[in-house]
Amino acid sequence: MSLIFFDFARRNLQRNLFRSLLAVVGIVIGVLAISTLGILGNSLTLSVTESLSTVGDSLTVIPHSGAGSQFGGATAQEKISERQVQDLRRVAGTNPVIPLYSTADRIEVGTQKGVISIYAMDPDDMPQLVTVEKGIYVRGNGGILAGTRAAEEFKLKVGSQVRFANGDTQRVVGILEERGIGFDIQPDFALIVPSRWYEDRNEVKGYDQVIIKVHNVDEVDALEKAIDERFNRRETVLDTFSSKEILSSIQDVFGQISTFTTAIGGISLVVAGISILNVMMMSVTERTKEIGILRSVGTLRNEVRKIFIYEALMLGLIGSVLGGLLSFGGGYLISLLILQTTEYLFDPTSLSSIALGMGFGIGTALLSGLYPAWKASNLNPIEALRFE
Amino acid sequence: METVTATEGADPVLLRFEEVSKVYPLPAGDVIALDRVSLTVERGEFIAIMGPSGSGKTTLLNLIGCLDVPSSGRLVINSRDVAELSDDELTFLRRDTIGFIFQHFNLIPLLSVLENVEYPLILKCRDRAGCGQTPQMALRAAGLDDERLYTHKPNELSGGQQQRVAIARALVNDPSLLLCDEPTGNLDQKTGKAIMDLLTEMNRNGKTIIMVTHDLGVAGYATRQIQIVDGRIMEDTG
Ligand SMILES: Nc1ncnc2c1ncn2[C@@H]1O[C@H](COP(=O)(O)OP(=O)(O)OP(=O)(O)O)[C@@H](O)[C@H]1O
Ligand SMILES: [Mg+2]
């Protein structure tokens, strides 16, 4: 029964093929925008989550000193004293506590000069935070480790000699494995030097940062609370950040980015919807006489409405399916361009953004078809028949 | 919906106008297309409605065909007051018991000849097989034998052929009432005569026919002539 109305809709779309195609293109673009941007947002979140979980959970403790030195930059005035580190060890129990100096220095490698960030820590602690890929770990006071990016930039190899600003030299004994963005330290771009050697050559008033590796993720909150109670009773002395907290705030930010990008996609769908509305209103006007004929030979209002709704649905369906298919390509490209990886493309959350885009596409088309359909069905048959 | 047609045959009166007026409100002033018309039509009649242009003939036909409702007065069709019928009920009445033949054919350009004729059948029967009647039968009855034409679109046919398609479409649901608005207006004399012979035969087979025409010769086929001037019935031979 309804097949004939479906057929009407299909034939009319074919009759105005070019116009129909334009309306479809609008939907395709809208769906593509929502899906692709959704996939990007998802992939971003997933890649950050993943790189973080490989680092494991750690608690970063820094002196409370206002904004500027959140990650223990060299400008920070406040330091963490040896006494405070001892207290932290007591609070941390069996969890390893790693105090470190974080600074930057001018270095020379051969004829190449430049500035690099430097972490100084006990050689025994180094394996807890970083992994050597080539060469060996530092033993005693001799030798330093170089992060992958730092090694690339200064063309460092195991055995390379690095001259520091004060004239001292050290040999690179190990090149680190790439670790990606971390929330404790950023070893990829840094040199890791022994703390004793560093203390001997600099006037140190205390550590810049203490990292507590937490074995059991569930302990993080309790530990943070314990530190707070121990140190920050009267005034805030130490700030703590857990990677978990940072992760969730990063996820928040990406969530907002996703919402924003979806909204941009939504705007393009609104435009597509208006174009469908326009196409359908033209169609209603052009077919006024035809609608009059249909009504005069016994077509119900509801049946006239169906013809137009089907038409809108077809536009939406074709546009959404095309847009959904193209989204795989779009998602692939944008992930490759921005994230350099496409491994998250087929993740359920990415697929759900395609479904979301398609759903919005069909919904928009349907919504845009409602008014024209209502208008067509309410035409007075006599007036419609008189229309030329 | 079937209750609308259930009384068919019992009452010899098919429809009755009681002081029916139709007013079209226009910005320049109301147009009184029909002015207190009273008229009774019995089943099986063949009526010609004549009158000058703008006298209200088409308006009268549209009211009978349930395409429109009176502004005032009572119009009773098949013992039902049309004022009491919903839009859907009026549509069912059109679909199931009334066949329309318009002056300008009014075929659906999207559909082929066969589909145009089949369309009311599908509306009525849903299931194409269940109707007994087929579009081919209706087309043959309307004098369009050439089956090669059936797949053509209406605009590929001559005026006479289109009129036959329109007649076939009006007949396909076996309506008890045929309404024709100048069925021969666009046709040459020979084709016009063939169409009139066809209508005469339909009338002999029991269909009530109400036809608008300007042509006295065409009006001669009818058994009753009604003259309308300025929305009023001036003469009625019935
Ligand atoms: N939908 C409408 N809106 C406004 N005025 C209308 C409408 N339909 C008909 N009229 C007016 O009502 C009057 C009767 O029109 P109608 O079409 O019934 O005349 P007619 O007798 O069929 O004329 P013709 O022989 O030219 O077809 C005319 O004055 C016409 O302008
Ligand atoms: Mg007329």
Q: Calculate how close chain A gets to B18, using CA atoms only, in Å.
A: 22
What does the domain layout of chain A look like in residue ranges? 2-52+248-386, 58-213
Distances B206 to A260, B16, B46, B94 between C-alpha atoms, Å: 71, 19, 10, 18
Helix (H) / strand (E) element for B215: namely none
Q: Ligand 1: which atom is nearest the Cα of residue B56?
A: 18
Interchain contact B153–A (C-beta under 8 A): no
- Residue B221 near chain A (CB below 8 Å): no
> Nearest C-alpha of chain B: how many angstroms from A281?
18
Q: Is the separation of the CB atoms in A296 and A289 below 8 Å? A: no
* Beta strand segments in A229-286, E: 238-242
Give the Cα separation of A300 and A106 in Å (integer). Answer: 85
Ligand sitting nearest the alpha carbon of B231: 1
* pLDDT computed for residue A253 by the predictor: 81
Separation of alpha carbons A374 and A377, rounded Å: 5
Segment B116-123 mean pLDDT: 90
Place of tokens 């409370």: A64
Q: How many cross-chain Cβ pairs, A to B, lie less than 8 Å apart?
A: 61
Residues B116, B138: Cα–Cα separation, whole Å: 11
DSSP class of A178: P
Among B175, B107, B104, B168, CA closest to B139:
B168
Neighbours of ion ligand 2 (CB under 5 A): B 58
What's the pLDDT at B145?
87
Q: Is the pLDDT of residue B6 over 50?
A: no
d(CA B77, CA A57): 85
pLDDT on residue A68: 44
User: A258, exposed or middle or buried, with CB in 10 Å at 0-12, 13-18, 19+?
Assistant: buried
C-alpha–C-alpha distance, residues B94 and B190, integer Å: 31
Ligand 1 center from residue B34 Cα (angstroms): 9
CB-based contact B173:B133 (threshold 8 Å): yes
The phi-psi region of residue B56 (left if phi > 0; otherwise alpha if psi is between -120 and 50; otherwise beta) is left
- The verdict on the CB of residue B56 being under 6 Å from ligand 1 is yes
Mean pLDDT (chain B) is: 89
The CA distance from B177 to B179, in Å, is 7
* Most ligand 1 atoms within 8 A of CB, residue of A288, A289, A296, A386 to mutate: A386
Would you call A382 and B67 a contact, using CB atoms and an 8 Å cutoff? yes
- A175-202: per-residue pLDDT in tens? 999 877 667 788 889 999 999 999 988 8
Interface test with B, best of A296, A300, A305 (most B CBs within 10 A): A296
Instruction: Please tell me the distance in Å from A17's CA to the nearest CA on chain B.
Output: 14
Kind and range of the H or E element at A188?
none
pLDDT in tens, B34-67: 999 999 999 999 999 999 999 999 999 999 999 9
Place of tokens 């950023």: A186
pLDDT in tens, A102-114: 999 999 998 899 9
- Which chain A residue has its CA at the smallest distance from B97's CA? A298
End-to-end CA distance of chain A: 29
Of A296, A301, A303, the CB nearest to B100: A296
B57 lines ligand 1 (CB under 6 A): yes
Both structure tokens of B196: 């009139």
The tokens for A40 are 């990007």
Of the candidates B67, B71, B82, the one whose C-alpha atom is nearest the C-alpha of residue B30 is B71
Q: Say whether pTM exceeds 0.80.
A: no
Contacts of the segment B76-81: beta carbons below 8 A, 24+ positions apart: B76/B15, B76/B16, B76/B18, B77/B14, B77/B15, B78/B4, B78/B5, B78/B7, B78/B8, B78/B11, B78/B14, B78/B15, B79/B7, B79/B11, B79/B13, B80/B4
Q: What sign does the CA torsion over A252, A257, A258, A262 have? A: positive
Instruction: Quote the crossing angle between the two packed helices A288-296 and A243-286, to the nearest 10°.
Output: 70
Residues of A in contact with B87 (CB under 8 A): 301
CA nearest neighbour of B195 among B61, B110, B101, B111: B101
Is A10 part of the contact surface with chain B (CB cutoff 8 Å)?
no
Query: What is the pLDDT at residue B5?
Result: 47
How far is residue A261 from each of residues A35, A39, A40, A361, measured CA to CA in Å? Answer: 10, 10, 9, 16
Query: In angstroms, what is the span from residue A384 Cα to ligand 1's centroid?
Result: 14
Q: Does B65 touch chain A (CB under 8 A)?
A: yes
User: Per-residue DSSP letters for A76-96?
Assistant: ----B-HHHHHHHHHHHTTS-
User: Which residue, judged by its Cα, is nearest atom 13 of ligand 1?
Assistant: B33
Q: Is B213 in the pocket of ligand 1 (CB under 6 A)?
A: no
Answer yes or no: are the C-beta atoms of A74 and A104 closer than 8 Å.
Answer: yes
pLDDT confidence tier of residue B142, bands split at 50, 70 and 90: confident
Q: Which of A63, A132, A124 is nearest to A98 (CA)?
A: A124
For residue B160, give how far its alpha carbon lies from the nearest alpha carbon of chain A (Å). Answer: 19
Q: Classify residue A75 by burial, with Cβ atoms within 10 Å: 0-12, 13-18, 19+.
A: exposed
Is B75 strand, coil or helix?
A: strand
For chain A (388 residues), the mean pLDDT of every run of 10, in chain order, is: 80 89 90 86 76 68 65 59 90 91 91 92 90 89 90 91 90 88 82 92 89 81 87 84 76 78 83 88 91 93 94 93 91 81 79 89 93 94 86
- Contact A134/A178 with Cβ under 8 angstroms? no
Chain B contact present for A385, CB below 8 A: yes
Nearest to B91 among A289, A292, A300 (CB): A300
Chain A hits for B154, Cβ within 8 Å: none
Non-local CB neighbours of A362 within 8 Å, separated by 6+ positions: A313, A316, A317, A320
